[in-house]
Amino acid sequence: METEAFSRPASLKIWHAGPEQFFPAEPEQFASLREAIAAAADTLAVPGSQPWIVTDEGELLPPNWIRSQLH
């Protein structure tokens, strides 16, 4: 991924293993991919939550990719 991609907008969607499934119903929008990663990091600690990020270019970034960016 290009370094400049981290400055572009991204959205965050949280999948839950429980009855909520998706919460919130609409993805949360962020001004940059960096901001979306930071918000997703908070949800990784919640059991049953799986954050997924969609970049401005439409690339789907799974929880494992998000975790790899936190190290």
Digitized pLDDT (tens) for each residue of the chain, 71 residues in all? 788 889 999 999 988 776 656 555 678 999 999 999 999 998 888 888 889 999 999 999 999 999 999 97
For residues 2 and 19, what is the distance between their CA atoms, to the nearest angstrom?
37
Instruction: DSSP for the chain, please give it.
Output: --GGGGGS-EEEEEEESSTT-BSSSSPEEESSHHHHHHHHHHHHTSTTEEEEEEETT--EE-HHHHHHHT-
pLDDT at 69: 93
For residues 32 and 37, what is the distance between their CA atoms, to the nearest angstrom?
9
pLDDT at 25: 64
Q: For residue 63, give the amino acid letter.
A: P
Nearest Cα residue to 13 out of 66, 70, 71: 66
pLDDT at 49: 86
pLDDT at 38: 95
